[in-house]
Chain A
Amino acid sequence: DIQMTQTPSSMPASLGERVTISCRASQGISNYLNWYQQKPDGTIKPLIYYTSNLQSGVPSRFSGSGSGTDYSLTISSLEPEDFAMYYCQQYDSSPLTFGSGTKLEIK
């Protein structure tokens, strides 16, 4: 199974700040990497697919990049609604696996 290591596990940040969350795969995953946001009520929302493609309706302050084993999610300027959990997920091979999550907290 491909292991996904997500860092940091938690990140205090301020409104308007630029933040980056990292995700490293245990082997190359050919850009087959997605990102999701989970709100405190448990609702899960897709953000980015195939490394850098923005899901329809997701604000442009979200962006994704990476290649090989290393990927990242960047939020250019934090808004109040962005404080949530974030997960990466690979689909290069089965079983699909997720990172352990990053909790974005208000500083």
Chain B
Amino acid sequence: QVQLKESGPGLVQPSQTLSLTCTVSGLSLTSNSVSWIRQPPGKGLEWMGVIWSNGGTDYNSAIKSRLSISRDTSKSQVFLKMNSLQTEDTAMYFCARNWEYFDYWGQGVMVTVSS
């Protein structure tokens, strides 16, 4: 069955770069897109960006200058990198299948930005 699992550091210092990995199983990245979505504590959901099945990307304009999404199809992994982290980037980070309708979600990984 389709599964997605996020991994990465739980704590990042301000101004540093966040690197997260989404490892998928039960689907091929060459025929599926994967999105990243985040949720600050006690707040709502924010779509961050997507990597499409052809390797193209689209990012939320609010964070586009700081964000990069890439993938390694041989390892079934999608990567998120976001630089210049601030405390307001503290959030649960989710990866999910698809772009328009997120039909499978990972469990999320909590990232805290703090010195």
> Which A residues are closer than 8 A to B by beta carbons?
1, 32, 34, 36, 42-46, 49-50, 55, 87, 89, 91, 94-101
Question: Is B99 positioned at the interface, with any CB of A under 8 Å from its CB?
Answer: yes
From known contacts A1-B61, A96-B47, infer whether A91 and B105 are also in contact, taking CB-CB under 8 Å. Answer: no
Chain A interface, >50% SS class: loop
Q: Return the chain A residue nearest B47 by Cβ.
A: A96
Q: Return the chain B residue nearest A85 by Cβ.
A: B44
From known contacts A95-B61, A95-B62, infer whether A46 and B101 are also in contact, taking CB-CB under 8 Å. Answer: yes
> Which B residues are closer than 8 A to A by beta carbons?
35, 44-47, 58, 60-62, 92, 94, 96, 99-103, 105, 107-108
B46 interface neighbour in A32, A43, A98, Cβ under 8 Å: A98
Q: Are B94 and A91 in contact (CB under 8 A)?
A: no
Interface centre among B47, B58, B100 (most CB of A within 10 A): B100
Shortest distance between the CB of A90 and any CB in chain B (Å):
10
Report the tally of A-B residue pairs with Cβ distances under 8 A. 52
Q: Are A98 and B102 in contact (CB under 8 A)?
A: no
Chain B interface, >50% SS class: loop
Cross-chain pairs A/B with CB under 8 angstroms, 15 sampled: A1-B61, A36-B45, A42-B92, A42-B108, A44-B94, A46-B103, A46-B105, A50-B101, A89-B45, A94-B58, A95-B47, A96-B47, A96-B99, A99-B44, A101-B45
Shortest distance between the CB of B36 and any CB in chain A (Å):
11
Shortest distance between the CB of A89 and any CB in chain B (Å):
8
Residues of chain A with a CB closer than 8 A to B44's CB: 87, 98-101
Residues of chain A with a CB closer than 8 A to B60's CB: 94-95
Residues of chain B with a CB closer than 8 A to A55's CB: 103
- Give 18 new A-B contacts, CB below 8 A, not counting A44-B105, A46-B102, A98-B46: A32-B100, A34-B100, A34-B101, A42-B107, A44-B94, A45-B105, A49-B101, A50-B101, A55-B103, A87-B44, A87-B45, A89-B45, A95-B47, A95-B60, A95-B61, A95-B62, A96-B35, A96-B100
